[in-house]
Every structure is written in C-alpha cells, then in structure tokens.
Structure 1
Amino acid sequence: MKMPNLKAMEIWNGRQGLAALFKYQPEGDEQSAMVSLRGTWYFVLQPPVI
C-alpha cells in the first residue's frame, strides 16, 4: 500500500543445485496481491506464516 507503483517484485536465492523464488504481484485492485514461493526443494510454510 505504501508502494502503489510497484508492478511486481521477485526475490531470488540460489546456489549450485538449489534455487528459490519469492514473488509478489498486485492484483486488479489495490487491496489484493498474489504471493508465491517456488523452489527446487520441498518446502512447507508453517501456519503462523500463512
């Protein structure tokens, strides 16, 4: 909400054989967004994080 012109943000983390992507992308209105996390290993977000 404090960055109204932000179209998308991707934060990559990686090293040999491993990679992860955190992606934020605003949706139609200013009140919603899509957040995703992808990686090359099995990862589960804990309920407090969600």
Structure 2
Amino acid sequence: MKITLLKKASWGGKSYKSGSSHDVDDKIAGKLISRGYAEVYTPSEEVEDGPAPSE
C-alpha cells in the first residue's frame, strides 16, 4: 500500500521524513495510519494551464 507520512516515522531499521511517500506492506501501513503517522497516498492533481502569455 502506498502511504504519505504525516510525521517522522521509522520501520525496518530506517527513519523516514514527514511528507514523504512510500510503498509499504499493508500491515505496516495499517499500523502507521492507525497511530496517526501516515495517510493513504493520494497523488496530487496536476492543473492544466493554458499557453504562456506572449510578451
């Protein structure tokens, strides 16, 4: 399951920064989410811009 960290967390002997996204085992993801350290990853929606204004 892909998650985004809300707080600094560690698993598997490594530490990870808040705001980073990771693909982790469902069991680890469940623990992090239930404890408030992470949320399910949702990709940011890209906004389609029009052409750049000419100068």
Name the structure with the higher helix share.
Answer: 2
TM-score, normalised with respect to structure 2: 0.18
**Which of the pair has more CA radius of gyration?**
2
Name the structure with the higher strand share.
Answer: 1
Higher relative contact order (CA 8 A, sep 6+): 2
TM-score, normalised with respect to structure 1: 0.19
